[in-house]
Amino acid sequence: MAKRAAKNLSTIRAMQQDIAKWANKVFPDRTAHKTLSKLMLEEIPEVVVALRKIKEGNKDVDLGTEIADAFILLFDVAYQNGIDVADVVTEKMRINKAREWSVDEETGLMNHRKK
Ligand SMILES: [Mg+2]
């Protein structure tokens, strides 16, 4: 596990606010579209590569850092659209827990059953 962060970012809301403050200072002209492009075209593929390397037995992979990069960008996309990640994830998990789920036999992907 990573060392505990120096600042108290233990809540999702505090973490999102810290990311937004940093991004506003370093990338004041960014757009949600460009942030999302960075996430999809660079950072998610880095997570995929890290997972593949781990599966191949490579122990010199920092999957946590790659996952952090992806979360940081997605939190910032939410911030740029006025979305509080803590609120929306809490509400969506309430919905998800109430649903029935299955795994598609062909694709292996998880989906909720349509009512
Ligand atoms: Mg990365």
CA of 23 relative to ligand 1 center, distance in Å: 16
Query: Which band of pLDDT confidence, cut at 50, 70 and 90, is reported for residue 7?
Result: low
Show the domain range for 19: 12-83
What 39-44 contacts at long range (C-beta under 8 Å, 24+ apart), as own/partner pairs, is 39/70, 39/73, 39/74, 39/77, 43/69, 43/70, 43/73, 44/70
Domain membership flag for residue 113:
no
CA of 46 relative to ligand 1 center, distance in Å: 6
**CA–CA gap between residue 88 and residue 37 (Å, rounded):** 22
pLDDT surpassing 90 at residue 100:
yes
Q: Which residue has the tokens 């960008």?
A: 73
CA of 115 relative to ligand 1 center, distance in Å: 38
pLDDT surpassing 90 at residue 1:
no
Domain membership flag for residue 97:
no
pLDDT surpassing 80 at residue 57:
yes
**Structure confidence at residue 3 (pLDDT):** 54
The model's pTM: 0.86
Strands, DSSP E only, in 11-113? 101-103, 110-112
